[in-house]
């Protein structure tokens, strides 16, 4: 299989299972003892940006392992929500405050 064939095969499989919610972002060839395989990065396409769901492996026969489930998609969304709840640190919060003035 070529890189484009792997991309299209996994994208079609994901589209059938998840619609346009989940998409392929990267395909890389991996050399293994048993032969060549492909590692495919799968993301949840969100308005705020792509959320990494996981990487799957595709062999020359087109078998996709592991098979992604709805639980994997939900877990990716939960991880993103947990990260986004924490406000960024305010590094200049005390800049120009009273603590800078001498007596």
When pLDDT is cut at 50, 70 and 90, the band that residue 76 belongs to is confident
Please tell me whether the overall predicted TM-score, pTM, comes out greater than 0.75 for this model.
Answer: no
- Taking 3-state DSSP, the helix, strand and coil percentages for the chain, each rounded to the nearest 5, stand at 35, 35, 30
- Which regions of the chain does DSSP assign to beta strands (E)? 22-32, 35-46, 49-59, 64-65
pLDDT at position 7 over 80: yes
Residues 17-59 have pLDDT tens digits of 999 999 999 999 998 777 789 999 999 988 878 889 999 999 9
């Amino acid at each position: 299989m070529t890189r484009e064939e792997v991309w299209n095969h996994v994208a079609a499989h994901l589209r059938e299972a998840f619609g346009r919610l989940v998409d392929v972002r990267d395909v890389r060839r991996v050399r293994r003892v048993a032969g060549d395989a492909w590692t495919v990065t799968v993301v949840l396409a969100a308005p705020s940006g792509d959320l990494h769901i996981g990487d799957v492996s595709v062999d020359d026969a087109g078998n996709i392992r592991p098979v992604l489930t709805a639980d994997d998609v939900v877990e990716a969304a939960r991880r993103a929500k947990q990260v986004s709840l924490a406000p960024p640190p305010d590094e200049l919060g005390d800049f120009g405050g009273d603590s800078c003035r001498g007596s």
